[in-house]
Each structure stands twice: as C-alpha cells, then as structure tokens.
Structure 1
Amino acid sequence: MTPHDDIPAQAAERQAPAADRTGRQDVVIVTGMSGAGRTTAGDVLEDRGWYVVDNLPPAMIVHLMDATADDPQRQKVAAIVDVRSRDFTTELARALEDLGGLGYRPRVVFVDSSDEALVRRFDAVRRPHPLQGEGLLLDGIRRERRMLADLRSNADVVVDTSNYNVHQLSAKIDSLVTADSSHSLRLSTMSFGFKYGVPLDADIVLDLRFLPNPYWNPELRAFTGKDAAVRDYVLGQELAGVFLDHAEHLLRTAVKGYLLEGRRFVTVAVGCTGGKHRSVAVAENLALRLGDLVDHGVQLTTFHRDLGRE
C-alpha cells in the first residue's frame, strides 16, 4: 500500500474551493516583500479578468468582498496588500479569519526575492525602502522580512522572483490562478542550479551534487537533462536509482500529509551545480514516477528554473 492509499475520502472534499461549495467569489490576496513584484502580479491578474485593488488596507478586504458580491463582473477579486503599519500582520490575519467565517477561501500569494535582488531593484529606481527610515536600504529590507516572517510561512504559495524577469513572473502568477480547481494540491518539481542560489519558494530541496556531473563529459556537456543521452547517463547511475526510490517514497508520504492539512501549493526543488543536467533529468523522472497522484487530487507540474542560463 502506498502512503496515499489511505487518505480519507472526505479529505478531497474538504479541500474543494469555497466557490464550489458556496457559490461565493474567488479571492486572491497578494502580499510580500516590497520590490519583489506585487504590482506586477496584480497587473497579471487584472489582464486575466480579475478585479484588482492595490494598496488596500487589510481591514478593508472584507468590505471589498461585500461591495462586489452581487456584481457578476467582479466575481474574481484580488487585493494587493503591503506593509503600512506595525499592525499589518495582525490586521491581515484577522481579515483572513473573517473571510473564512463568511465562507470564502482566499489564496494568499507571497512574493519574495533575495536581499541582493531587492537592493538592486531599489537602487535601479532610486527610491527608499518604505521601512528604511533614517537607516540603510538593507536595514529596511531586513526589518520588513522580520515583520512578514509568520505571514510568509503561512502563505498558500511563495513565489521567488529573484531570478525572474517580468515575463517569467507573469507566467508564474498566471499558472497559479488558472490551476485546475478540480485538484486539491498542486505539486511542482523545479530543477535549479545551486550556483544561482537555492529557490526561496522551495518547500523541499533535493541535492544531486553527489552524482557524477555530465558537464565533465565532453560528449554530454552541450546537452541537457531533457536529452536522452544525458538522461540515460544520470538515471543509469546506481545511486541515482536508490535516491529516486527514496525520494518518491518521501514525496508520497508528504503529499498525504499536505492533503490532510489543506496545503494547496508545494514546490519540490531539485538542484545540481548548474541546473542543466542532473537536476533536470531527475525532476522530470520524479514527475513521471508520481503521475498516478493525479487520481488523488494532485496536479503535477515541472519547471526548470535555470535551464538555458549557461
């Protein structure tokens, strides 16, 4: 018996979107670090037909839903909220609790970036950080990160925009809000290169740098983990097979828990040195191995963050 075989039938029912149970509006709350892409995320949602309100105080979110409840053109509502006061996290937590009590099931999307990426972006536009005060730019970033730590850990999904351009961020946000609502959990396997940084939005990180690197084989260097020659080389390693068996068992066990706990988005980051060979081959293979999870309310996607950067 696999770890997901004994998932109670009511688990899938419990994860059904609120709109399916109550007919209420769909609501997304976008928050996160200043400079990480909240406004861009809002623009994407607006382009997809969502009614978007930017810089909305958390205390006004419930009023926004009440005001738009009977408008057929505003049944998909997004609120972009950011740090404006020390009570921000408390106010947002209260708003989420109130929405839940009214039958809504809001999705909280937290956009984040590395400190280095945020510094570059603020320097480029020559604007101070909203929490910088009389200190340095980095002081404001770190202060905001501390304030938002709990909110980040409780968000439905964290989007790391450190290495995204505008088009990549748009595609990511678009994929999140257009995910198949018949699935309770979206499981993404992402390949990446450690030399470009560990993804901030990873829930589980798998390190493949213990396997022989095809980069050092002149006949394989120019190919990627999507090509048969590299794939066969990587997956043909004895330790690769052992690792994949254990990783599959781990993920099946985790999926069972995620479904029972109501998690809707999970990212498994599979890393090697450059994100071109080993991580790509293994990420693709893991997605293939877990394909039967679609019958248990799981939507599977695969994304190769750093493929093509070299």
Structure 2
Amino acid sequence: MSATPRTIEPVELTKAKGIIDEISGAFSKKVVGQEQLRTSLLVAMMAEGHILLESVPGLAKTLAASTLAKAVRADFARIQCTPDLLPSDIIGTQVYDPRNHEFETQLGPVHANFVLLDEINRASAKTQSAMLEAMQERQTSIAGVIHPLPTPFMVLATQNPIEEEGTYLLPQAQMDRFLLKEVVEYPRDHEELEVLNRFDSGALGTGSTVASVVTPEQVGWLQRLVDRVYVDPVIKQYIVALVHATRETERVLGPELGRFVEIGASPRGTIAFYQVARSLAIIAGRNHVIPEDVRHLRHSILRHRIHLTFEALAERVKPETIVDAVFAAVPAP
C-alpha cells in the first residue's frame, strides 16, 4: 500500500504563496486585468495540465501565455501554426549529416518546458494529431526512438473562433486533453485606459521584457504540493455526481434543457475537477478542498467537454448555460 501523503504545513503554504505572488506580480506588470485568465494559467501550470485560450484577436492571449512562460526561468518555445505546418516542424526529425555519413536527430520546439501554440486551429488535423502524444504521454517518437519531454511541460494554445477560412476544427480527442478552455473577454473601460497609459510609458513596447522570477524546480515543488492537498470523500462524490449529471442531462435537468446535450464529459473531466480544485486550494492558502474550489472554474473545465446538439447550436444555447444548470441541480455538500 502507498504511504498517505503527509499534511501540508502552514510554512509550506506560506512558501507556495510567495512563489504564486511572484508569478502573479510578473504577469500583472505585462497584462492589464484578466484576473480570471491569470488564475486559469496558474492552475493549469500547478495541475500539470494544458490550457486552450480562445477569443477574438487583440485580447492579449499570446501575451498572457508568453508572460507566464517567461516568468519561469525555463525553456520557452513559440510555434506559429499555419496550414502548411508539418508534424516534423513541431516534434523534430532526422537530418543526414554528410560529414559523418549518418542521420542525427534534431528535436523540434515542442521539447521545451512551455510551448505556445499560436492559432492552433490553423494547423491541419495531421499536425494537430502530432501534439496528442506530447500532450498526453509527455514524449515524442522520432524514427522509432522515444524522446521524453522536459519537466515541467505545459502547452498553451490560442485560437480565434470567428475566422473559418484556413482553419481546422480541433479533434475532440485533443480538446479533451486540455485541462482548461478559457474564453478571454474584452477588458473593462478602466483596464483599457490603463493599457493606453502603459503603452505611453513604454511598458508594453517591444523593448520591455518579462523578468524570470521563479525556477522550474519551484514549479515542480508547487505541483508536488498540489498532490498532497486533502480532498474529503464527500467532495470526491460531489465531483463524480456533477460529471455524471452532464451525461444524464434529461434526467437531471429535464427535457427542456437536457435535449440540448448530445454527449457529456468523460472521466478526464472528473480528474480535471479534482486537480483544479486542489490547485485552487493552494492558491487560496488552504491544505484542503472546499466546494467553492470545485465550482470556481466550472466553465473552463466543462465548456469544451460537453457536446451540444445541432438544435442547441441553432437556438444559440451556450455550454455555460448547461454547466450552470447542472451545478444548480446537483446539491453541494
């Protein structure tokens, strides 16, 4: 039998708060507002997951992803996805060396700690599928040889939902591998004014840089700390009941809303709730999970895991509406 993880001590929570505050401070110096986005990025990193950012152009998706990555003193790679991008452009390939008369392996940009896939929906399905092994198995295969990816490893992908020309739908198998899907909203008036002020001061110029404030070792320590957060059996049952409700919506929500859901969340959704809740507990300075930790990022966890029917799309029913109805129907402990 495996040993029971020891209780997280207050001194460890204080250390975790210091690391999180350092990253948040570096993020806030570069990105105005976007508190929800910052939380989601932190949670994805701490839970050893990947995140998909979606919004119209110009809302700092790429800036936010690169800022988080650069705040950690680790390898960072940015891949601009285009329709002619090949799998070998991402994972690497073998190149013939005429001097030694042999092939040598050149690893691709995915072999970095933080990988930004910009406009992922512009890459072809074949190229997107090349990311599946990397995202799930944390390794790549080149000419039959396995190459492990570094630790920590995180994919931050962006996509623009309003342009269809030259884009490809992400396979559902890949969508499900994103721990979170965050929809970035327009900034508020005072935040947009602050953007102009920072632009005038040069803080948002091309010459401004992001300070590396933490190390990969500190990120790894945070991830191991998350694994020790206590989750009461009642909270676990609550998570399972929520995910099961997405698969039985007609019974749970009734025919009026239930008919809009074709397929509910998979067990990956259950695991996502579990890991996200534990990460949020650490961010809040607790060594245990409360129901609010489960509810906080419910839209980001489920919006890409619930398949709506054509009728729902025709009537413009949003996944968030279904998610809120499920949480209202399932009693919290």
TM-score, normalised to structure 1, is 0.35
Length-normalised TM-score, structure 2:
0.33
